[in-house]
Structure formats: structure tokens, C-alpha cells
Chains A and B, each alone.
Chain A
């Protein structure tokens, strides 16, 4: 091919090879810039959601409404708070007073299997690499306590050699990205701006889709009311400046609650001064209950 041929080709195509490559480069830069800008934009969105500035699935108009016209709760503005809970499993003594207090406070069904919060016992026998797990709903524990409403762990491991054992309190994680809200067909459950995932019982049709969706098993179905049941961190208490019932009664301070917007609140101190974990981080729900002392078997 000679120079004349190249000239002809350029004229035919309307573009030289150099021109084409230059354009390709410019295009790549532009595309990169666009992707970068979009990425940065979504990063800002995520951090806003993380600090509670924007609730889950809230559009701009609804967000503005939430900020400017918050729900009418006396002496409370949900824009000022971002609630979180800590659970120190190294302090939990498994007394189950949290369960009892929760049931009384929230009129949860008084039986072993419908709980807003519960405690699990993990026991590694000597030489075993897997944990034996039970909760108060275990038939042996119920038989030992004598009643489903006397929440109590039995002493079944007193005659065997135990390598390691501990209690873990569980409750709704009030996730940043709640699966239960995602699946609710009626808008009966939603993420409030200050953290808790709430249930509007007048709108719940009892389909129990949320019960299945929750990766933590934190929801149950209240047959007597016909609606889903879940922990809401005692929303009626925290909006009045009180602690949730379980935190209020915990005799060892294993449960810690507070406002993450206040750097000196118990939970802020707890998160700042401990190496905290969340349950099932791989699920991507971004829980708001932070644990200390979790073991490999705890899910």
C-alpha cells in the first residue's frame, strides 16, 4: 500500500486511523468520567442513608417532607436521632428478663415461640468443633421451667465437660436495607427515618411474606392480632426519652442502646471502643445491632 492509497482510504471513510483512535480515547475518558460521576453520586447517597439522613426507599420529595414536616410526636423530632443497639455477649447471663420485659411491654403472645427478642445458648463440648445451640423455646428448657411463660435455661451441661459456652441475645436488627420492607405488598412495614423498622398494624394483611424474607428470623406472626410481629426497639419508649424495655431491665448491661448522632451516647461509646460485628454481614442488610464477642458459629 502506498501513500496515495492511504489518502484515498481516508477520503473514502471520512476519518483517518489517527482520528479514529483519538476519538476512541476521548470517548473512553468521557465514559469513565460519567461512570465516575455516577459512582460518586451513588456513594453520597449511600453515606446519607447510612447516617440516617435518608430512609430506605425514600425519594427526594418524601425525604424533603420527612425533614420539613416530621411526624407529630410530642417533644420528638425524628431528624435528630439515629438509634442503634449494641449487644455485649460477654456479659449476657441468660437470665431472659429481656424476653419477659419485652412480652409484658409490648403485649406479645405469652408463649415460647412468638418473640420479639430471645436469647440463644451456644455450647461447645470438649473436643467438639460445632456448637450445641438451644433457646428458651427448647422443650427441655420449658419442662425445666415448668411453664412456657417462665423463661429459663436449664442446667443440662452441669455433668459434661464444656470447652466454651456463652449466650447471645437476638432481636430485630433494624437493617439499613430491610428485606422485610422490600417484600411487603401493602406498605405496612417501613423503615422510619430515625432507624427502627416499624409495622403499621392497620395495614398489615398477615401474608407473612416478611416473616420468610427476614434473614435473621426476627419476625413472627401474631395469630391473635392477625398481623406480623417484630421488635421496634420500643418505638413508643425511645420517642419519650426512655430505653427499650429489654435494655431497661438487663441486669448486666449486656444490651446497650442509644443515639448514634450523640457521640457520647452509650451505643456510640460502645461502637467506638469495641471491635463490633454484625450478624450475617454477607446478606447485605446492613444491620443496626452491633455485637461484641460473637463466635464463628453464631449466625
Chain B
């Protein structure tokens, strides 16, 4: 055989050996095991540790919150109920709202406390506490809570009708969701109100004020605006006609929202719509501050009716919001808990009757008041009005 052919053959054999051994060396053993891929990758991918743990994982430490949730509507919707062969409903578990899987949660080693201690004494100083994850706040503050609720419950056109949805302005205004709803079990239990918002970690009540500081008006400036109101509502805010409301001592927040509603047409009154149309937002805040500071008075009501009305207050549900300092601490009957709701103590009985009746016949609407008023008879309305008219407003 010629020399050059031998050389060529040797070269080919060497290249073949190199190529073959390279292939052996570079392709992992499990490649082509199940197909054109590395078979070992399947088990590797499956070996990742799950982060979301499910609601049951929260139970051992957060007993109270878990119990509330387990008994409530959010939980009841959680079971994958099978009805007529179809899986229906689900529901938000802990990790849906408390963003961030429990996998980010501090381990027991990170929190060397007894379980009970842990729930009540967790502070943010613990490294790895979910609240420390940037941009995430697992233990939601009252403010965050509102946006979390609205993730699912804000009225959107594309949302199916069966989902409970609200328009914030007409449902609660500036009031926080948690004032009436326990987010763990959100169906409102009027018997259990007032419901103090509490810190889920410490269990202590939190004082929340939905109003921003810049919303406070200037009473001095408001006095000049108030002169236009004096013809009907009295110079000091005590009305000249029993069917018109007293404004003295009323919550400023409520006065502002009322004026805005008159201006926008959401609330209708021939006289007030015209009056409010000429007011700027600053005017509204100032005049509201002026009347809020004015000394309130008691107009009084029929005593016999007031006795009957007092007996009805709790049952009718007024007490939940308009009574006893409501949700924010101790206070007097007829003094509302929130700036967004009117004080009723000492108010004109005639005005209260008109207001309740207009809620009842839907000529005035409010998410809560419209439904409450529909449960009241004419005599109930008279009695309740007489009661609140005779309660001390101080």
C-alpha cells in the first residue's frame, strides 16, 4: 500500500477515536435515556422545594387568625366542592392575601420562642421575617389591606357578576375595609360590631385615621363661607327648620363628602345642589371645619317615642356605626365612630326621618344605609329619629 494512503488511513482512525471519546466524555450518561435530553434533569427539577405551603401550615402558630378564617366565608369558598360532577368554588387561603409564600417565613430556628410567644411577640428585628422582604409586607397594615381587598372586590367590567364587587366611593368612601369587615371572615356580623381593627401580630387595637392631614380645613376661613349657609342652617349651625339638618358639631369628613355628593349630583337636593355647585374643594373643607368646631345642641324628640327608639337601636344596627364611639374607642351614643359617618346625637328628628325614608325608597343611596333602612317600618323610623334627637351630643 502506498505510503500516503497509509498516512491518510491513520489520520482518519485517529480522528474517529478522538471524536468517539469526546462524545463519550461530553455527553452525560443519562442523555438519550428517555429521549433527546438529560434524563437526570427530570428528578433535578422535581427536587426543588415548594415555597407555598397552604393555609394549614399557618394554623400551628396563628391559631386565632386561622380559626376566624376557617369559620368564615373566605374559607367556606375554599373547599373544592363537587356538585353534580363539577368542581365549584375555591377561596382565598392565607397566602393569597398575605403575599409571599410561607417558604419565606422564618423557620422555627430563626425564632427560638414558644409558639404562643412567637405569635404575640414577633418583631421586625428577626432576620428573615416576612415583613422584611423588600416590597412585601406579609402582615398587612390597615392601609395595604384596602388595596388587597380591592384586588378581588373592586368593581371591574370584566369581573364575573357572581364575584362580590364594590365601588369604593359609594360603598365606604374613605373608610377602611377593616372598619366593618374582618378580612379573615369578611361577612359583616352586625352583632359583633364595633370591630376594632387590630394588629394581627400583637393583637392590639390599631388606631387608624383614613383622613389625610392635608384634608383638614381652616375654620377661620370657613366662617365667611358659612354665611351663605346661615339662612337655612343657622348662624351657629343650628337649623331653623326641623326638616333641615343641624351642622354644628358634625364630623368635618362627613360634611365634606356630603357637599361633594351634592356637587357631583350623587346626592340630590334642589337647594343644596345649587349651593354646593359654587364651592371649591378648599371651601368645602374650610366650611366643614367651621361647623365641626361649632358647639352642638340637642333639639330633643318625643319622649315616649325616644324610649321605643332606644330599644330598637341595637336591633336595627344603628349602634354598629353611629353609637358609643363606634369602632374607635369609647364614646357617646349617636356620636359616629368615623369621620366619614354623620353624628346623629341631638340631630333634628324631622331631618332624620326624611333621611331614613329617602334611603328606604332609594331616592338617596348608600351601600349600608339603603339596606338598613329597608328593614325599618314608619314607626321604627319615627322612634329612632326621636331617640337620636334627644341624645346628648357632648
Q: Which residue in chain B gives the minimum CB-CB distance to A168? A: B158
**Assuming A58-B35, A203-B37, is B101 touching A104 (CB within 8 A)?**
yes
- Per the 8 Å Cβ criterion, residues 155-198 of A in contact with B are 155, 157-158, 162, 165-167, 187-193, 198
The contact of A242 among B50, B99, B159, by CB within 8 Å, is: B50
Flag if B135 contacts A253 (CB, 8 Å).
Answer: no
Chain B binding surface SS class: loop
CB of B118 within 8 Å of the partner chain: no
Q: Which of B83-91, B210-218, B232-240, B274-282 contacts A (4 or more CB under 8 A)?
A: B83-91
Query: Is residue A84 contacting chain B, with contact meaning CB distance below 8 A?
Result: no
* Interface residue? B46 (CB, 8 A): yes
Instruction: Report whether B96 and A200 are in contact in the complex, using a CB–CB cutoff of 8 Å.
Output: no
| A137 touches B (CB below 8 Å) | no
A16 located at the interface, meaning its Cβ lies under 8 Å from any Cβ of chain B in the complex: no
- Residues of the B chain whose Cβ atoms lie less than 8 Å from the Cβ of A245: 51-52, 101
| A47 at interface, CB cutoff 8 A | no
Contacts of A167 in B (CB 8 A): 158-159
Q: Given that A73-B43, A240-B50 are known contacts, is A249 also in contact with B151, CB under 8 Å in the complex? A: no
- For residue B46, which residues in chain A have a CB less than 8 angstroms away from its CB? 71, 73, 76, 235-236, 239-240
Asked if A72 is at the interface (CB within 8 A of a chain B CB), the reply is: yes
Q: Is B265 an interface residue (CB 8 A)?
A: no
Instruction: Pick from B26-34, B171-179, B241-249, B386-394 the stretch touching chain A.
Output: B26-34
Chain B: interface residue total (CB-CB under 8 A): 56
Report B-chain residues with C-beta under 8 Å of the C-beta of A65. Answer: 33-34, 39
Could you say which of B32, B35, B36, B85 has the most chain A C-beta atoms within 10 Å of its C-beta?
Answer: B35
Q: CB < 8 Å: which of B41, B77, B80, B152 contacts A198? A: B41
Contact with B along A233-253 (1 / 0, CB 8 A): 011110110100100111111
Residues of B within 8 A of A249 (CB): 52, 92-93, 95-96
Nearest CB of chain B from residue A16's CB, rounded to whole Å: 55
Closest to B80 in A: A266
Question: A237: nearest residue on chain B (CB-CB)?
Answer: B50
Of A101, A200, A269, which is within 8 A of B37 by CB?
A200
A236 contacts B48, C-beta separation under 8 Å: yes
Say yes or no: A190 contacts B158, CB within 8 Å. Answer: no
Q: CA–CA, A192 to B33, complex, Å? A: 12
B163 within 8 A of A: yes
Cβ contact within 8 Å between B33 and A62: yes
CA distance A56 to B104 in the complex (A): 37
* Residue B54 interfacial (CB < 8 Å): yes
Q: By the criterion CB–CB under 8 Å, are A252 and B89 in contact?
A: yes
Q: How far is the CA of A200 from the CA of B100 in the complex (A)?
A: 26
Assuming A78-B42, A235-B45, is B157 touching A123 (CB within 8 A)? yes
A192–B40 CA distance with the chains assembled, in angstroms: 12
Cα distance A237–B84 in the bound complex, in angstroms: 29
Tell me if A155 and B34 are in contact (CB < 8 A): no
Q: From A101, A249, A254, A266, name the one whose CB has the most chain B CB atoms within 10 angstroms.
A: A249
Asked if B49 contacts A236 (CB within 8 A), the reply is yes
Q: Name the A residues within 8 Å of B40 (CB-CB).
A: 71
A104-B100, A203-B38, A253-B90 known; A152-B151 Cβ under 8 A: yes
* B43 and A251 contact, CB distance less than 8 A: no
- Chain A to chain B contacts (Cβ below 8 Å), 20 pairs: A58-B34, A73-B47, A91-B162, A93-B160, A104-B101, A155-B155, A165-B158, A167-B158, A188-B37, A190-B41, A199-B45, A200-B37, A235-B48, A240-B46, A245-B101, A248-B54, A248-B95, A251-B77, A252-B90, A252-B163
* Shortest beta-carbon contacts, A-B, top 3: A253-B90, A236-B48, A200-B41
**Chain A residues in the interface with B (C-beta under 8 A):** 55-58, 62, 65-66, 69, 71-73, 76, 78, 90-97, 100-101, 104-105, 110, 121-123, 147, 149-150, 152-153, 155, 157-158, 162, 165-167, 187-193, 198-200, 202-203, 232, 234-237, 239-240, 242, 245, 248-254, 256, 266, 269-270, 272-274
Given A66-B34, A72-B43, A73-B43, 17 extra CB contacts under 8 A: A55-B35, A58-B35, A93-B159, A93-B163, A94-B158, A97-B151, A101-B52, A101-B96, A187-B31, A190-B35, A198-B41, A199-B45, A235-B46, A245-B101, A249-B95, A253-B90, A269-B85
